[in-house]
Amino acid sequence: MAAKLPAAPQVLSELAEILEDVNANTGDVARLLERDGPLAASILRISNSALFGTGGVGSIQEAVNRVGFGEVHRLVGYAATSTLADRALSFYNVEAEPLREHMVCNALAAEALATAAGANPRHSYTAGLLRPIGMLVLDRLARDKVALTDCFEASTDGTYSAWEPRTLHFRNAAVTAVVLNEWRFASEVVEAVRGHTLQPGAIPPSRGAALLNLAGWVSDQLGAGLRGERDLWEPTPAKLALAGISEETLRLQVDEVGSLFDRMQASLQ
């Protein structure tokens, strides 16, 4: 499955390992990022945007030096969306730009909620960013096997959870978990994605899954949700308790994440 996708997310997995190494330095990070040409080009473009400075960055090493270890994971994740979400998901009826916005907004929301809850923000950011990977895989597989007349329509199909098993015979969360496991992401990231729908009969939910589910609600409130998923995100007391945050904290994140997301979008235009 993973072979059907760009390599950028796999670089993100290896980057996470480097950032966990206390002996790593910016040279180690730069050498990793230089291996993927399209990703490196995207990183340079973003590094020269108003988001991270005023320009003048001519190499990956300079980009890493400018943003530092604290921001490089977010920078690479943002850059990865450009290579991953490079085309519309025809069968899910999602254009490329809304998909990229959804991935970034969801990542920022998951990161903010994890920080507020005292969980691992880097793991949550990664899970939020890459959560739609299964949709990318299934959309590619469907091109040879499913007629476009069977593509998702919110007015008739309702939700992805109803449409996917009937039309694609898989659920995207399960596919994403398989791909992330192939790419050797941390088990906390894989299990958060695998269980984030929190639907009856699913695997036992984890705290990471609950945080990821609530991040979906934040994204939806900010207009960056996907039409086929809106049935999944109601912030129930059980979800909040599992995530370890209050409803007040959750609602505060809508404004904070929205402000950060808007600044990022504006600075990269």
Residue 235 near residue 245 (C-beta atoms within 8 A) = no
Tokens of 123: 């793991």
Do 48 and 95 fall within a single domain? Answer: no
Residue 198 near residue 210 (C-beta atoms within 8 A) = yes
Structure letter (DSSP) for residue 85: S
Do 150 and 248 fall within a single domain? Answer: yes
What's the domain range around 267? 88-269
* Long-range contacts (CB closer than 8 Å, 24 or more residues apart) made by 261-266: 261/104, 261/105, 261/108, 261/222, 261/224, 263/51, 264/51, 264/78, 264/104, 264/108, 265/101
Rg of the chain over Cα atoms, rounded to whole angstroms, equals 18
Domain boundary among 84, 110, 126: 84
Q: How large is the angle between the packed helices 121-130 and 96-117, nearest 10 degrees?
A: 160
pTM for the predicted model, two decimal places: 0.91
The residue type at 155: S
Do 100 and 67 fall within a single domain? Answer: no
Question: What is the residue-wise DSSP string for 7-29?
Answer: SHHHHHHHHHHHHH-TT--HHHH
CA–CA separation, 68 and 4 (whole Å): 32
Do 45 and 168 fall within a single domain? Answer: no
Do 155 and 204 fall within a single domain? Answer: yes
Do 164 and 248 fall within a single domain? Answer: yes
Question: What is the residue-wise DSSP string for 116-164?
Answer: HHTS-HHHHHHHHHHTTHHHHHHHHHHTTTS-GGGS--HHHH--HHHHH
Do 123 and 48 fall within a single domain? Answer: no
Domain boundary among 69, 84, 99: 84
Bridge partners, residue 89, by sequence = 94
Q: What is the mean pLDDT of each run of 10 residues along the chain (269 residues)?
A: 70 88 87 87 83 78 83 85 88 95 96 96 94 94 91 94 94 94 93 90 84 98 95 94 96 95 78
CATH of the domain at 240: 1.10.3210.10
Do 3 and 48 fall within a single domain? Answer: yes
H-type alpha helices, the chain: 8-20, 26-33, 37-47, 60-84, 96-117, 121-130, 133-142, 154-157, 160-167, 172-182, 187-195, 207-221, 237-243, 247-267
pLDDT of residue 3: 63
Do 98 and 121 fall within a single domain? Answer: yes
Tell me how many domains the chain contains.
2
Do 115 and 39 fall within a single domain? Answer: no
Do 182 and 60 fall within a single domain? Answer: no
Residue 164 near residue 138 (C-beta atoms within 8 A) = yes
* Long-range contacts (CB closer than 8 Å, 24 or more residues apart) made by 150-155: 150/91, 151/90, 151/91, 151/92, 151/93, 152/91, 152/92, 152/93, 152/228, 153/93, 154/93, 154/227, 154/228
Residue 107 near residue 154 (C-beta atoms within 8 A) = no
Do 44 and 136 fall within a single domain? Answer: no
Domain boundary among 84, 115, 144: 84
pLDDT of residue 63: 86
Structure letter (DSSP) for residue 205: P
